[in-house]
Amino acid sequence: MIAVKNKLIIESKYLAQFEELCNKLSPENLACDGEFNMLETRRKEKKLLKVWKRLEKKIGRTVTEQEIWDTVLETYRQNRIASIPKNRVWKNYVEEPDLDDYDYEARD
């Protein structure tokens, strides 16, 4: 299970499936960058939402897209922090480093 802010969110085996659905449900992917007409787009969305509901039944609760993205982001941050070599220290560390643009220096 993946925990975010001391709160159990979702089993990791389902997280990847929900993340994939989130990506497929984005407007540009639903409409295939405008190649699908409105009817095809709605059919595709309806089909993906059925899969979403089945996954919710498996885990026993409703899940929002925001929950999925929060969990994915937190997991990414935890993995990035864990992958930083132990001989590195943060410069100007306040509370939460910006992992996309961190600045560190090597310890002597």
Angle at 96 between CA 74 and CA 22, to 5 degrees: 25
Radius of gyration of the chain (CA): 19
pLDDT in tens, 30-49: 888 778 889 999 999 999 99
Decide which of 75 and 103 is more confident: 75
Task: Please compute, for residue 41, the number of CA atoms within 13 A of its CA located in the half-sphere on the CB side.
Answer: 14
Q: Would you say residue 65 has pLDDT above 70? A: yes
Q: Which of 30-34, 63-67, 79-83 has the lowest mean pLDDT?
A: 79-83
Specify the pLDDT at position 6: 41
pTM assigned to the model: 0.64
Considering only the C-alpha atoms of the chain, give the largest distance between any 2 of them, rounded to a whole number of Å.
Answer: 63
Q: Which helix (H) or strand (E) holds 45?
A: helix 38-59
The pLDDT score that the predictor gives to residue 36 is 84
Picking from 65, 50, 61, 62, the residue whose alpha carbon sits closest to that of residue 18 is 65
Domain ranges within the chain, ordered by starting residue: 2-106
**Top-confidence residue, 21 or 101:** 21
What's the pLDDT at 107? 46
Give me the helix-helix angle, 12-24 and 38-59, nearest 10°: 170
CA dihedral (51, 19, 63, 61) positive or negative: positive
Share of the chain above pLDDT 90, in %: 27
